[in-house]
Structure 1
Amino acid sequence: MGSREHWVSVADRLLDAVVPYATPGFAQYRLPGRASASGPDSDGLEGFARTFLLAAFRAAGDPGAAPGGLLERYAEGLTHGTDPGHEHAWQPIADGHQTIVEAASIALALHETRELLFDRLDPAVRERVVAWLGGIVGKRAWPCNWVLFKVIVEQFLANVGGPHDPAEIERHLADVEGWYVGDGWYTDGAGQNYDYYCGWAMHLYTLWWTRMSGADPGVYRERLRAFLESYRHLFAPDGAPMHQGRSLTYRMAAVAPLWLGAIFDATPLSPGATRLLAGRTLTHFERHGVPDADGLLSLGWHRPFLPVTQAYSGPASPYWAAKGFIGLLLGPGHPVWTEPADSADDSGDREDLTVAMPAPGWLLHRSGGVVRLLNHGSDGNDRDSSGDDPHYVKLAYSTHTAPETGPEGRAAGLDNSLTVIRPDGSTTRRRRIDRLMVVDRLAASRYFDGEVVVETASVVDGPWEVRVHRVAAPEGSHVRDGGHALAGDEPCGTRLDGLESRVSSGALVSSITGLHGWYGARVEARTGENAFGEHSATPYLVGEHPGGRALFASAVLLGWVEPATPPPAVEPVGDGFTWKDADGGRIEVRLGRTPGYVREHPSGERVTWTG
């Protein structure tokens, strides 16, 4: 699966499909779709820069096999895009502008194809390209992964004798250093911003800077290796990547860190496993119609779906998927393409697995053919903001579901949320996550919304996620706990049975069962609200809050396989619960002033944690 020939054929299809949308002279590619907040000229430059990145990977990895005329088109685009007198000339690079982002893709592509393209340009054109890129020096970049765009561009300029500021490069690398939190993880700027940008931006550009500058990649290499130890598990056995964070429309770019590990000898994976994991993800998207019938990448996930995008997303934004093709830089004879995947590579990721990830505040759970991310650390907010983006603040995400992000679903906030409905009808929102612990099979956090305090612990118990909630709220409030929203092309199946709410889409099942504190189970069905399909449904529980502090417990399930064990029977103990787990041992979870956790296995193994 995922042979080099397969990747090449998909890359060629993508590159061929955009040609009809090129402006005269190939300086811009104006693809169909909703314009970004930056406008059509910026979107057209984005179309050039991001497809140029893909073309560079395609050509540089095996120059003799590159399609005729491919790099020539981009050479022509460079000629006209940097000509101020041309009708479709590129906008000058400006403070905080999208041109900074696209300049980095152009610089990286030029570096990788320097002998094939840049060095062969007419000297006057080379000077114009250097002058346009040089406009980035001294410009303000947003304090996040954007600072690395400046690092890449200015390093390329340094290599070709262009204007650059070594102090800026050093300062921006220091910015990134301040965002490193351990275990290979960076937050994307200040705050708790953990998502795919850690891999396809922070790791990619720091390591690529060493490739361009000749600096020792040692520390960045070791960080990537540590990152991949856990990151490799964010993909389901069928190749579906985790659906969490922003810019999800970049899709296949999620596998960029896997290839990066092979390129920089910074991976715990064998060459065959790298190819297998990346290839599964490419095939996953192809099975779901990506690219589309015209060979284009739409703004969406499996289908066009604008709520999965951001205001900066334009018609060509999805072509940062090019980063997922970075493995093409490894030529046909590289072991990543030639070594077989052994049986462990092919079957090891199908077994049940729990991985504690303290750095981003996550607990990863693979069971029933699905990977779930239990989120107690990433809220997508920096120090000066307090949003409630459903791609960040939910209690859980998965490889086979998406949060409800249409206007109605986003406002309701049912799925994977513990919500308090106050007596006046207003609802709480989980905005800022205050971490409590990530250890063994448990992750816990709390959030505040006015006088309401919600503490939640998520515990992996066999196929179940057991949620323990300690909620402080006014008398007369009600409490809601939602499971995963399912979606598909047809309306979901639903079933209510006592305190169990269950929805199904095809063979995939999502359920939530009340274990303590609830009086009813409900289902909410919607249309047009979910990235995975037109029809969606969310199972959830409802309970009455007596005022003061109260305990609630629920069991959440998501998978293609029916569970072999029923949800546990919990017993309240002080500020938490204890129960017999699926292994026949005992689990105790305590929240409140001194949170704690105990897991006792029948073998005598004992894991304890006290806050």
Structure 2
Amino acid sequence: MKYKLIFSALLICSQLTHAQKKASTGAEDRAFWVKTLNRIAYPVIHNLANETLKKNMPVEKAPGYGLNVNKVTYLEALGRTIAGVAPWLALPDDDTAEGKLRKNMRTELLKALANSVNPESPDYISYRSESQPIVDAAYVAHAFLRAPKALWEPLDEVTKKRFVEEFKSLRTRSGAYNNWLLFSGLTEGFLLSIGEQYDPARVQFSINKMKEWYVGDSWYSDGEKFSMDYYNSYVIHPMLVDLLKVLVDKKKAQKADYDLALKRMVRYSEYLERIISPEGTYPAYGRSITYRTAAFQALAQTALMEKLPEYVKPAQVRGALSKVMHNLYDGKQNFDDQGWLVLGFNGHQPEVADTYTSTGSLYMATLGFLTLGLPADNKFWTDPPAPWTSLKAWSGESIKKDYKVEY
């Protein structure tokens, strides 16, 4: 009898629909996103602003780690953190609690950026050796492209010149023959955007290879062989779209190329929305799962650009991503006692980290928060809660059939 009662209770619970469960409002979701993004980004930005990043950031390495960690991990932490916070920091100042927090982070980040390229600073970060800086210079450049008026234009002329010199120094090296091509392309694209001399060959080669590596239905092969992982979101779609936008603006590419890349990213965002389970989990497969919420960068950017497919409502993306973030960041499992991210997927799991992963690598997690760049009065935040696709599917509601696209 006891077990029948337990079974009956579980059955009743399983039959509850999302409509019967309390859903948070958009304002509550936004407050949670802001709090969580600040929790992740603050240690990096605050310490670098105070020239204590190298002193205070723990340096944990994956088993079998193969890089010169002290020459790469700090640039990883900087670039990956600011590429995710940039759209939020680009919002205008206001007198709300969020606005004051945002202004404080922006102020500290401008100090941090200056320190990072000042050879006299204990936190000077060099781009001039190793191959890994090719990657993370691109994330710094991406932040500047995403928030030029907030993060690039306010820098003093000496600091700007130093960044340009560090970026150009990367031309002495080449990286892997895969998504790395886009890193070089994007950094050169940023130089073009600010009127600096750039390398058109690196830019064009990266775009041409991405076109060649397109395999269909929004998926790009990461190099000559396809890899089933999240690199289409970590790197390929967002960087390709934003690089082409620079080129179109500078009349160096056809708008049709940009439009096609954007259509493919929009289609890919549909996949990302659909893989979020009713419980707010997603598959831990492929390389670099330690990047956590970066897996949803392409979805977050598509929402930020207000380009979601018609049937994917902004509120359902907000609900789905919020649920994922609650699962990952409500507890302390992904942070150490000082608030730094730890190696793992959902907990301290160094065994799943790749041989190029160290503490600084993990800050790509901020890329899932891009949609905070939409103001609080945007419908993404003001629309009432809405179920996402898998939640509707598993509740027996009507959903749109998914089918491949031909572009």
Short-chain TM bin? 0.7 to 0.9
Q: Is the 8 A contact 2:90 2:149 kept in 1?
A: no
> Could you say which residue in structure 2 is the equivalent of 1:82?
117
Q: Distance in 1 between matches of 2:280 and 2:77?
A: 27
Q: Is the 8 A contact 1:81 1:88 kept in 2?
A: yes
1:4 to 30, 33, 50: 30
Aligned AA (1:50): R
2:296 to 244, 255, 275: 255
> Could you say which residue in structure 2 is the equivalent of 1:57?
87
Q: Is the 8 A contact 2:75 2:136 kept in 1?
A: yes
Written as runs of structure 1 = structure 2, the 5 A alignment for 1:42-441 is: 42-64=72-94, 65=99, 67=101, 68-94=103-129, 97-137=131-171, 139-213=173-247, 214=249, 216=255, 217-268=258-309, 269-287=312-330, 289-292=332-335, 294-342=338-386, 347-351=391-395
Residues 523-545 of structure 1: CA deviation (Å, up to 9, x unaligned) = xxxxxxxxxxxxxxxxxxxxxxx
Residues 345-372 of structure 1: CA deviation (Å, up to 9, x unaligned) = 684142589999999xxxxxxxxxxxxx
Q: Distance in 2 between matches of 1:104 and 1:61?
A: 22
Aligned with 1:205: secondary structure?
helix
Aligned with 1:181: secondary structure?
strand
Aligned AA (1:235): I
Gaps of 5+ in 2: 1-23
Aligned with 1:84: secondary structure?
coil
Aligned AA (1:167): A
Q: Is the 8 A contact 2:290 2:353 kept in 1?
A: yes
Q: Distance in 2 between matches of 1:357 and 1:195?
A: 20
1:319 to partner: Cα distance: 0.6
Q: Distance in 1 between matches of 2:49 and 2:157?
A: 24
Residues 378-414 of structure 1: CA deviation (Å, up to 9, x unaligned) = xxxxxxxxxxxxxxxxxxxxxxxxxxxxxxxxxxxxx
Residues 542-579 of structure 1: CA deviation (Å, up to 9, x unaligned) = xxxxxxxxxxxxxxxxxxxxxxxxxxxxxxxxxxxxxx
Q: Is the 8 A contact 2:51 2:115 kept in 1?
A: yes
Residues 37-68 of structure 1: CA deviation (Å, up to 9, x unaligned) = 23213112222222223442331135441524
> Could you say which residue in structure 2 is the equivalent of 1:25?
51
Count how many residue pairs are aligned between Structure 1 and Structure 2.
358
RMSD: 2.9
Q: Distance in 2 between matches of 1:276 and 1:343?
A: 7
Q: 1:74 to 1:249 in 2, by over 3 A?
A: same
Gaps of 5+ in 1: 360-611
Q: Please, which moves more after superposition, 12-21 or 311-320?
A: 12-21
Q: Which has the higher contact order (CA 8 A, sep 6+)?
A: 2
Between Structure 1 and Structure 2, the one with more helix by share is 2
- Normalised by the length of structure 1, the TM-score is 0.54
Residues 235-286 of structure 1: CA deviation (Å, up to 9, x unaligned) = 2111111110011111111222222222334433111111111111111112
Identity of aligned residues (%): 24
Aligned with 2:144: secondary structure?
helix
Q: Is the 8 A contact 1:255 1:281 kept in 2?
A: no
Aligned with 1:73: secondary structure?
helix
> Could you say which residue in structure 1 is the equivalent of 2:10?
none
Aligned AA (2:113): L
- Normalised by the length of structure 2, the TM-score is 0.79
Aligned AA (1:304): H
